[in-house]
Structure 1
Amino acid sequence: MAQSVTVADLVKNTHLSVFWGREYLDRPITTSDISRPGLELTGYFNYYPAKRIQIFGITETSFAKGMSDEELKEVMTKMCQPETPAFVISTQLEPPEQLVAAAKKAHIPILGSKLTTSRILSNMTTYLEAKLAERKSIHGVLVEVYGLGVLITGDSGIGKSETALELVKRGHRLIADDRVEVYQQDEQTLIGQAPKILNHLLEIRGIGIIDVMNLFGAGAVRSQSKVDLIVHLDQWNKDTKYDRLGTDRETTRIFDVDLKKLTIPVKPGRNLAIIIETAAMNFRARSMGYDATKVFDENLNELIKENATKNDKEQKYQKQEEEQNKQDISKDANKDPE
């Protein structure tokens, strides 16, 4: 489920200034797409995206200056639709008087920025895409380990939070405990963060809720992180076959992104924090092109090849000895008796 965003949120998080309409900043923004109304200034409104924020740069304001007063009034009135969230004027330009008049009449705020059109367009798009993206809530713990976002999953009570606490004590950072809100940033990237009510908090059975930032410092937490790897904690079962060589390529799909998944059996005596640290380092090594499993396979194949060559040589030598023995026997049989 996507979060709701208002014009006030946009102003606060993209450092815009309010030229007019501060009392109307509660207007909702429903799309991350932003429009540069070039065709609309020529009078073409067949496909006017009224739900988008409308941004005016040097090109749009220069074109508007060449229009007659009546033409500009008509165009600006058409652009000020009830669902239009706001107008943004870039590069510290003055908005056209006709736009100000039409916006006041429709109660649409006009915002300004000293940044160029391309820069403010990028900033607003990045912020709105993150805030308006569809979100999925996942039961688990998200920890940043050696710069990698590791999502720890498993049944309730298996030790996810305790493992996260040990990782924090070892210098890694907590992002979210119990519930992780995940959204897709692009085609290959998932971002995870904690619900606002659980931010920086960790639940340890027998102790209760602890504030990780308060106990371990600001360096022990992060507000959000990319999700790179899933580590699933599974209660040890002697009848279950677990991957021992690292040849399994299990993945989990969240939205449109496939994530590598490791299943770690849990039983008394296993240090899960160290195992997860090692899993993260091994994942990074593989992403950089080094695969220990591949090296093992190559070494094994080389050993098999060497043994096969050795056996061939031994068999060849044995055959030569047998042939030589036959020849010796034959010579002895053909000797004249004295």
Structure 2
Amino acid sequence: MNSISVEKILEHFHLQQINQTPIENMILVSDIKRPGLELAGFFDYFTPDRVQVLGRTELSFLQELPKELLTERLDKFCSYDIPCIVVTRGLEPPQELIDLSQKNQIPLLATDYSTTSFVSRLTDYLEGEFAPEVTKHGVLVEVYGVGVFIKGDSGIGKSESALDLVKRGHRLVADDAVIIRRFMRGALVGRSPKISKHYMELRGLGIINVRTLFGAGAVREEQSIDLIAELEKWDDTKNYDRLGIQDDTEEILKVTVPKVTIPVRPGRNLAMVMEVAAMNYRLKSTGYNAAQEFTKRLEETLRNGN
């Protein structure tokens, strides 16, 4: 089960700790909670395993409560196993909250961010930390803003094609091994393992550093995976799709990704084909499909008897 320490959150967002509680608690879920109903006394569906965020609305409500009722509500709130409480906008929490959080060993943290901004930033950060991931064999390049994941058998020419794309001005993300993460919005993002970042293996030449050879503009830290390009050896007995009417797809981490299969034979310019595939993907994303347009024209011509 994935988890992240409160200490890591504190350091990443430069939070301040208000009480003196140890910050060894672990966060186990990516969801965030603003406990408005709970502070009003309704705890039936409380989710204490989330990071609890108190903004101006919650603190203003607490200030309006009589002292005894305030203590009662906060005592019950802090009795749960909460990973941490974050107060936003640099506001000062009630002394009762400081004392009770200290008593129950709940880290009480503060930030100058507005509540909306902090919740948004923390959500994106936690989604990234808790996102499911898988490592796939292949090469990931960014071509005209499109993330192209090149896969195929060993020795088929994935790295050479990627290097040709880099020479054409596109950017390398990962070679040989690609770590792919799925975010909650259904997007796949790939990156390179730290040990092989910016490096590429070319048979007969060895290991090269793409960033050193071609400059910082030739590499990218991470990239969404928009299109899969599978390279396979040319088979004369196989009927390859010559129109592109039917779109092929592949599933990675339960996300469906468009896929093109590119047959490989000597003399074929694979980098150019992948450039066109990326541009064609962008056109399809805007609603234009060249294959359907051509088929429509052909049918009209046949109907007219020409």
Q: Does the TM-score normalized on the shorter chain lie above 0.5? A: yes
Say if 2:30 and 2:123, in contact at 8 Å, map to a contact too.
yes
CA deviation profile, 1:144-190 (whole Å, cap 9, x unmatched): 10000111111122121221121112111111222222222344522
1:51 paired residue number: 49
Contact 2:138 2:149 in 1 (8 A): yes
Matched, 1:135 2:152: no
Distance in 2, matches of 1:94 and 1:298, equals 67
Choose the corresponding residue for 1:161, options 159, 162, 180.
159
List aligned pairs for 1:215-254, cutoff 5 A.
215-254=213-252
- Residues 257-279 of structure 1 deviation map (CA, whole Å, 9 limit, x = unaligned): 32111000111111211111111
Aligned residues: 306
**Equivalent AA in structure 1 for residue 199 of structure 2:** L
Q: Which amino acid aligns with 1:194?
A: S
Partners of 2:21 and 2:102 within 8 A in 1 = no
RMSD between aligned residues: 2.3
Query: CA offset at residue 70 of structure 1?
Result: 4.1
Gap change, CA 1:58 and 1:223, over 3 Å in 2: same
SS of the counterpart of 1:115? coil
Contact kept, 8 Å, 1:153 with 1:231, in 2: the verdict is: yes
In structure 1, C-alpha distance between the alignment counterparts of 2:266 and 2:280, rounded to whole Å? 24
State the alpha-carbon separation in 1 of the partners of residues 22 and 208 from structure 2: 40
CA–CA separation in structure 2 for the residues paired with 1:132 and 1:99: 29
Closer, same or farther in 2 for the Cα pair 1:26/1:265, shift >3 Å? Answer: farther
Question: In 2, Cα distance between the equivalents of 1:25 and 1:173?
Answer: 40
CA contact (8 A) 1:233 1:266 kept: yes
Is the Cα contact below 8 Å between 2:19 and 2:98 reproduced in 1? no
Match of 1:125 in 2: 123
Q: In 2, distance between residues paired with 1:299 and 1:269?
A: 32
- Mapped to 1, the partners of 2:159 and 2:78 lie a distance apart of 51
Q: Quick one: which of 16, 33, 36 aligns to 2:34?
A: 36
2:145 is aligned to 147
Q: State the match for 1:304 in structure 2.
A: 302
Q: Which residue of structure 2 aligns with residue 11 of structure 1?
A: 10
Which residue does 2:78 correspond to in 1?
Answer: 80
Distance 2:231 2:212 in 1: 28
- Deviation, 1:230, is 0.6
1:6 Cα deviation after fit: 2.2
> 1:110 is matched with which residue: 91, 95, 108?
108
1:17 partner letter: L
Counterpart CA distance in 2 for 1:183 and 1:301 is: 43
Partner-residue secondary structure (3-state), 1:303: helix
Closer, same or farther in 2 for the Cα pair 1:287/1:47, shift >3 Å?
Answer: closer
User: What is the rounded CA distance, in whole Å, between the counterparts of 1:21 and 1:99 in structure 2?
Assistant: 10
Q: CA 1:74–1:215 in 2, change beyond 3 Å: closer, same or farther?
A: farther
Report the Cα distance in structure 1 between the residues aligned to 2:79 and 2:222, rounded to whole angstroms. Answer: 36
* Counterpart Cα distance in 1 of 2:232 and 2:274: 13
Structure 1 residues 222-262: Cα deviation after superposition (integer angstroms, max 9, x where no partner): 22111111100011221222111112311112234321110
CA contact (8 A) 1:18 1:109 kept: no
Which of the two has higher C-alpha Rg?
1
Partner residue, 2:281: 283
Deviation for aligned residue 1:24: 3.5
Q: Is the 8 A contact 1:187 1:257 kept in 2?
A: no
Structure 1 range deviating more: 290-299 or 220-229: 290-299
Give the alignment's TM-score, normalised by structure 2.
0.90
Alignment CA distance shift 1:22-1:124 (3 Å): farther
From the superposition, tell whether residues 298 and 40 of structure 1 become closer, same or farther in structure 2 (CA, over 3 Å): closer
Give structure 1 regions of 4+ aligned residues with deviation exceeding 4 angstroms. Answer: none
* Match in the other structure for 1:323: none
Task: Confirm or deny: 8 A CA contact 1:16 1:111 kept in the other structure.
Answer: no
> Structure 1's 42 and 286: CA in aligned 2 closer, same or farther, altered over 3 A?
closer
Secondary structure at the residue paired with 1:51? coil
Q: Which runs of 5+ in 1 are unaligned?
A: 310-338
Inter-partner Cα distance in structure 2 for 1:58 and 1:233: 56
Note the C-alpha offset of 1:47: 2.8
8 Å contact from structure 2 (residues 230, 259) kept in 1:
yes
In the aligned structure 1, how far is the partner of 2:56 from the partner of 2:270?
58
Does the aligned pair in 1 maintain the 2:39–2:77 contact within 8 Å? Answer: no
TM-score (norm 1): 0.82
- Counterpart residue identity of residue 247, structure 2: R
